[in-house]
Amino acid sequence: MVGSAILRTLKSKGFSNFVYRTSKELDLRDQQAVKRFFSEQKPDYVVLAAARVGGIMANIQSPATFLYDNLMIQSNIINSSYESGVKKLLFLGSSCIYPRNAKQPMKEEYLLDGKVEPTNEGYAIAKIAGMKLCEMYNRQYQTDYISVMPCNIYGYGDNFDSNNSHVVAALIKKFHEAKIEKRPEVVVWGSGNARRELLFVDDLADACVYLLDNYSGNDFFNIGSGVDISIRELANLISGIVGYHGEIQFDRSMPDGMPQKLMDVQRITDLGWKYQVSLKEGLSLTYHWYLDNFKNV
Ligand SMILES: NC(=O)c1ccc[n+]([C@@H]2O[C@H](COP(=O)([O-])OP(=O)(O)OC[C@H]3O[C@@H](n4cnc5c(N)ncnc54)[C@H](OP(=O)(O)O)[C@@H]3O)[C@@H](O)[C@H]2O)c1
């Protein structure tokens, strides 16, 4: 989702001469294959958007996979970038890096002030390591590697797989199927009270390109809207957009994850960037994308 959006944004700004591979063509966990790729292709700029990504259940069931795959992917890319003389690299982290009990909204300074959320510990530890790796390569080798920590992202190209999706894609699919099958109620995981900050994927892509153009240094950046919404409110909003009129029930036996995840976005705001797409507009665009593509997603 995010890599494709960054590519779209770069193309729309007139950039060309891209090189990218699917995971089938190049397994980024394979150190030798990644070294070969970099020495053959010699890219100037690298956007590291590949990662093992998944929803709360996938993270609970496969914590070792989330830690191992992400450590391997990012270590291989960052080190090969250094060895092949890449001019600039952007690493995509996540708001999961912050402590579970972090004060809200979460400022960049709160990193490593406490324990991360246990349901996605493997993923979070890998993301912290990736961001620190960028920082330490900069310190030791004077590279220009920067990191962003996006909030929950949704939009075109999202993963609608029931076992692996994030909240927006999962709710769109649930409400759409319930509408088609005329089901009287939809059950949503968790209490509905957890709060999440959501950003449309094209806004994240825009922020990434903005930072590649406008920032070098060892600060990392929270990327979000600076506003959050409860899962209950989100479910109501999505059911309205989808046109589902049945009951919404909450299954409290399923985990909520972090009670609230809202980021302080002052640092990127001060640099001159702000999101454009409202939540309602972004959800509507995503639902229409799903309708056009759901046979293939
Ligand atoms: N989505 C969010 O809400 C969110 C929020 C914060 C941060 N992020 C970060 O943004 C980045 C992109 O996330 P996304 O939502 O765009 O996820 P995505 O749609 O699942 O994309 C991840 C990509 O990584 C590739 N990949 C995974 N393992 C690979 C491997 N071993 N070798 C090569 N490629 C591999 C996948 O390829 P295949 O599909 O071919 O396996 C996929 O194209 C990630 O770093 C993620 O942590 C995402």
CATH of the domain at 63: 3.40.50.720
Distance 65 CA to ligand 1 centre (A): 14
Query: Phi and psi dihedrals of 13, rounded to 5?
Result: -95, 5
Q: Is 23 in the pocket of ligand 1 (CB under 6 A)?
A: yes
Q: Is 148 in the pocket of ligand 1 (CB under 6 A)?
A: no
- Number of domains present in the structure of the chain: 1
Active site residue 123: yes
> 48 — alpha (psi -120 to 50), left (phi > 0) or beta?
beta
Per-residue pLDDT of the chain (297 residues; tens, 9 = 90+): 999 999 999 999 999 999 999 999 999 999 999 999 999 999 999 999 999 998 888 899 999 999 999 999 999 999 999 999 999 999 999 999 999 999 999 999 999 999 999 999 999 999 999 999 999 999 999 999 999 999 999 999 999 987 778 899 999 999 999 999 999 999 999 999 999 999 999 999 999 999 999 999 999 999 999 999 999 999 999 999 999 999 999 999 998 888 899 999 999 999 999 999 999 999 999 999 999 998 776
Q: Between helices 279-293 and 167-180, what is the axis angle to 10°?
A: 60
Distance 47 CA to ligand 1 centre (A): 12
For 263, the token pair is: 């980021």
Strand ranges in 60-197 using DSSP code E only, listed in sequence order? 88-92, 145-150, 152-154, 185-189, 195-196
Domain of residue 143, residue span: 2-293
| Distance (Å, whole) CA 236 – CA 195 | 14
